[in-house]
Amino acid sequence: MSEGTEAGGEGGRERGRLPPGQAVRYEHKPLHYGRVPSFRPGRWDFRVFGATESLGTYRWTWEEFGGLPRAGVVRDFHCVMRFSVPDVPWGGVRAADLVRLAPPSPEVTHVMAWGEYGYSANMRLDDFLDEGVLLATHRDGAPLAPEHGFPVRLVVPHLYGWKSVKWLRSVEYMVGDRRGFWEERGYHNRADPWNEERFSHQEDTGAGPPP
């Protein structure tokens, strides 16, 4: 499949409209927890595990991952630090295509995205399957810079940026919700920028798993 580019709004929002509390920034300064990991292509792999339909684990080497169907999207990127970068072109593998290759059990409701060093972020399966969500390998037509997540990062443009896990290594299918790294440390479980879901104290009682 050739790589295409899709431009569009975010989750049906008007294109060009900023979420509340955000300001435009055209330079995307990298923010992350921990150091930038080294990439060793011969040892790198990507896995899908947990409540899969087959009850098994799916695995791709770096070479095999490079052969998966490609897609491109152009989306705004919203950071919880109150800046948004407009019209970022990303290229990679659609999350929806990954799920077709590694089907979840019908009981799956959420996924946990796992990066290097045990970093994680949870989200609803429906959010993971949004048309704008990519396992990105490229930005602006070039491979990701190491500080931006090379070789693969998750891009979930309709949620705040901490859900877009850098240095992505695996996706876990879950039949219930549990909090990821920043969600356990006081960030909002859902992270919708249009509702300014920044911190866990904003959550309705019983709306998510315990912190």
pLDDT digits (tens, 9 = 90+) for 136-192: 999 999 999 999 999 999 999 999 999 999 999 999 999 999 999 999 999 999 999
Work out the pLDDT band at 32, boundaries 50, 70, 90: low
Taking 90 as the threshold, does the pLDDT of residue 8 lie above it?
Answer: no
pTM more than 0.85: yes
- Pair 23, 85: CB distance under 8 Å: no
pLDDT band at 196 (very low <50, low <70, confident <90, very high): very high
pLDDT at 31 (0 to 100): 65
State residue 28's pLDDT score.
66
The predicted pLDDT at position 34 comes to 72
> So what's the pLDDT on residue 14?
47
Residue 3: what pLDDT? 37
Sign of CA dihedral 39, 184, 76, 48: positive
Taking a C-beta distance cutoff of 8 angstroms, is the pair 149, 155 a contact?
no
The CA distance from 82 to 52, in Å, is 36
As a whole number, the mean pLDDT across the chain is 91
Model confidence pLDDT, tens digit, residues 34-68 = 788 999 999 999 999 999 999 999 999 999 999 99
Radius of gyration of the chain (CA): 16
29 contact partners, CB below 8 Å, separation of at least 6: none
Nearest to 24 by CA among 83, 104, 101, 65: 83
